[in-house]
Amino acid sequence: MENSVEAAMSSNIQTISISDTAEQAAKKMRDMKIGSLFVIDKSKSEQQPIGIITERDLVRRVCAEGISSKDIGIEHLISSPIATIERKATIASAASLMSSNKTRHLLVVNNGEEKLPVGVISSTDLAKYLKANMDVNEVNARILEALMEDEELPQS
């Protein structure tokens, strides 16, 4: 579906166990060339993501604090709850949700009652989608409209 989250998302959801270390997370992100991992608790029968860890988390909460990545577990770095969006939602609503939640990753869920994870969408995915599918003049017009609404600037 054009202009939907489904058109821009990655269906490859990568996970890491809450019992793993920051070092293991960093290596997996590097090897997979991704910026986030969804955290699962393997001790529970239901393997639904319970949180997320990002490259930014590793930089700010491990590296910048001088903590050894071997010595800190994911459980101390997890961001929870996870921001989610339905796969049929619009790209604009995904961008808005990322902005309002101050997040760069959304877990994409199906539109059914159970809200099962079907993918992930990042700010990079949004940028690539917009670059490939939107006219620059249209983007600029939308940005100006949003600024006017946010700042309540008089329209001329």
Q: What is the pLDDT of residues 81-105, one digit of tens each?
A: 999 999 999 999 999 999 999 999 9
Q: Are 108 and 87 in contact (CB under 8 A)?
A: yes
pLDDT value of position 152: 55
**Residue stretches of the chain with pLDDT short of 50:** 153, 155-156
- In a domain, residue 76? The reply is yes
- CATH code of the domain in which 83 resides: 3.10.580.10
Domain count for the chain, please give it: 1
**pTM (predicted TM-score):** 0.79
- In a domain, residue 115? The reply is yes
d(CA 70, CA 64): 15
- In a domain, residue 156? The reply is no
pLDDT value of position 156: 47
pLDDT value of position 149: 67
Domain interval for residue 145: 5-151
Q: Which residues pair with 79 in a beta bridge?
A: 52
